[in-house]
């Protein structure tokens, strides 16, 4: 599915997502005409649904993208994890390892591949969208570890300390704000992205706390979680000819 890039990208839920850039305007922007992400692998208790039918229940999936139009080139793409949630009373730790493929194209129909740009990850850290309710002295922690091709890694941490609550609806937080490390894909035009998402919660016995996502019951009465969303940041640089 193709999605026109505006201030915010909205798209139907799928394992494959594409985007089309608007024509270049001042200031000159550095980005391909079209690009695509696809989930190619999932591993871990936080994502046991790879290959499952999304019409039966919500699955781990790519959801939407965000980008700026002012030349700052801030991009995020989000992945939703319906099984990634913790509760002091039930499960205090969960994780998922995700692999994405990335491809660049010259045209809207994605028939002509290109290698004019190199994708760069982590320019603006990691975002997370979730619901939570933490009593005093309860702590929840996200760890996002990006694996580079040379086996080095970059880790972002977002920590929430109670008392803290999102209310009924999800809220967004970000690790951005410190000097970010940049991971460049080894090749121009295409590549693999791997990251590990961990969520944990700690607190003394008797305290209450959870981190999850918005949810509702389906027609069969089964609770369906939308999924905590992780937004990875990226941008591009020109490739030398």
Give the pLDDT confidence score for residue 12 in this predicted structure. Answer: 40
Percent of the chain whose predicted confidence (pLDDT) is above 90? 65
Q: Cα(197)–Cα(97) distance, rounded to whole angstroms?
A: 6
- Tell me which of 14-23, 54-63, 76-85, 143-152 is least confident: 14-23
DSSP-based three-state secondary structure for 95 = strand
DSSP result, 47-90: -TTTT--TTTS--SEEEEEEE-SSSS--EEEEEEETT--EETTT
Would you call the peptide bond into 27 cis, given omega within 30 degrees of 0 as the criterion?
Answer: yes
Tell which residue, 16, 18, 12, has the closest CA to residue 38: 16
Band the pLDDT of 150: cuts 50, 70, 90: confident
- Report which DSSP code applies to 176: B
Give the pLDDT confidence score for residue 14 in this predicted structure. Answer: 53
Give the pLDDT confidence score for residue 5 in this predicted structure. Answer: 39
Is 195 a residue whose pLDDT tops 90? Answer: yes
- pLDDT tens, position by position, 157-175: 999 999 999 988 889 999 8
Band the pLDDT of 93: cuts 50, 70, 90: very high
Band the pLDDT of 1: cuts 50, 70, 90: very low
Residue pair 84/199 in contact (Cβ under 8 Å)? The answer is yes
DSSP-based three-state secondary structure for 188 = coil
């Amino acid at each position: 599915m193709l999605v026109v890039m505006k201030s915010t990208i909205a798209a139907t839920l799928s394992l494959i997502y594409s985007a089309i850039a608007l024509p270049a305007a001042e200031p000159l922007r550095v980005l391909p005409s079209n690009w695509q992400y696809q989930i190619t692998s999932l591993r871990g208790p936080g994502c046991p649904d790879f290959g499952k039918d999304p019409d039966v229940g919500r699955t781990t999936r790519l959801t939407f993208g965000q980008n700026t139009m002012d030349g700052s080139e801030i991009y995020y793409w989000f992945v939703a994890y319906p099984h990634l949630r913790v509760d002091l009373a039930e499960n205090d730790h969960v994780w998922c390892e995700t692999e994405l493929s990335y491809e660049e194209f010259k045209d809207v129909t994605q028939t002509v591949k290109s290698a004019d740009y190199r994708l760069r990850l982590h320019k603006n850290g990691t975002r997370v969208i979730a619901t939570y309710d933490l009593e005093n002295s309860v702590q929840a922690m996200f760890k996002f570890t990006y694996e580079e091709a040379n086996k080095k890694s970059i880790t972002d941490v977002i920590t929430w300390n109670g008392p803290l609550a999102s209310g009924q609806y999800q809220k967004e937080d970000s690790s951005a704000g410190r000097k970010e490390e940049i991971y460049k894909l080894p090749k121009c035009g295409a590549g693999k992205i791997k990251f590990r998402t961990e969520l944990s919660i700690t607190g003394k016995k008797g305290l209450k706390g959870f981190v999850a996502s918005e949810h509702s019951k389906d027609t069969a009465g089964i609770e369906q979680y939308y999924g905590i969303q992780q937004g990875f940041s990226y941008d591009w640089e020109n490739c030398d000819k």
